[in-house]
A = this chain, B = another copy of it.
Amino acid sequence: MSDSKTQWFEEHYPTVKAKLGMEVEQWLHSSKSEFQKIDVFESKGFGRVMLIDDLVMLTEKDEFVYHEMIAHIPVNVHPNPQRVLVIGAGDGGTLRELLKHPEIKSLDLVEIDKMVADVSKQYFPDVACGYDDDRVECFWEDGVAYVNNCDKEYDIIVIDSTDPFGPGEGLFTTEFYQRCHDLLSNNGILVNQAESPQWTPNYVKGIHSKLSSIFPKFSMYQAFIPTYPSGHWLFGFASKNLDPVKDQKANRWKEKNIDTKYYNPEIHAACFALPNFVYDLFESND
């Protein structure tokens, strides 16, 4: 399978005492920013891989799943998605997908760590391809500070964070979610990356409990992302009044002829149907 010279990168999954290993072709980059460690390697099976603090952020092979699903779901529900705020997402993949929609007139990106964007531009040009778009304005600061000082109104807020510890921790608090709620217009939608129901159920419970207490409507949806823990990934969909399935604009999507590898209108409706154990998790109080 592999000889003694094979170099492996291994991500450890402490909650299940497991790990995913990928064979390394060549290490391309290692740096340490003010906030975190950033690495890039060429893998043998997944193209280039970006790590933050030794956790897989994206691989060229499957990044499309995450980025399409966090971007197109909210845009294809909102009746007039003009002003979008993205928090985190320095790699640029979420920008790339959002910018495919001509209705979006302004896209504010708030990323605490400019080095993530710089590394992505250098090593993942097909991911970080939206930074030069005129609609994008970048704010290199903490998302929590940004929303606390912000007086703009947004139609959609996308929280494309790292995990609920380290620099990303503040992006999973009730106070932060409440502030996002207050910045949204009447039809406003917030989506966020919401971890794995199979391997990190406590994170999922926390996110569900907080967002469903603040927003009139809250659901979660799922996608297959093999290089994230368990491959079973959730996203939160919080809104002031729109329903993620009933208010889907499937015809508008079809007219745009946007090329996607994962997302389609049937997946849009289907991804909100969750397994029983996930609903049980939402209702559990242990």
Contact = CB atoms under 8 A, between A and B. Distances in A.
A270 interface: yes
A224 B276 CA distance: 13
Interface stretch (A16-24, A117-125, A159-167, A181-189): A16-24
Given A18-B23, A261-B276, A230 B222 contact: no
Contact of A65 (B45, B273, B275): B275
Q: Which of A1, A16, A43 has the most CB of B within 10 A?
A: A16
A234 to B, nearest CB: 10
A262 to B, nearest CB: 4
A176 interface: no
Contact of A230 (B1, B231, B276): B231
A106 interface: no
Contacts of A271: 270
Interface of A: 1-2, 8, 10, 12-23, 43-46, 61-62, 65, 198-199, 222, 224, 226, 230-232, 260-264, 266-267, 269-277, 280
18 contacts: A1-B12, A2-B17, A8-B19, A10-B21, A13-B45, A16-B22, A16-B45, A17-B43, A18-B20, A21-B21, A198-B226, A199-B226, A222-B224, A224-B232, A224-B275, A264-B275, A267-B275, A270-B272
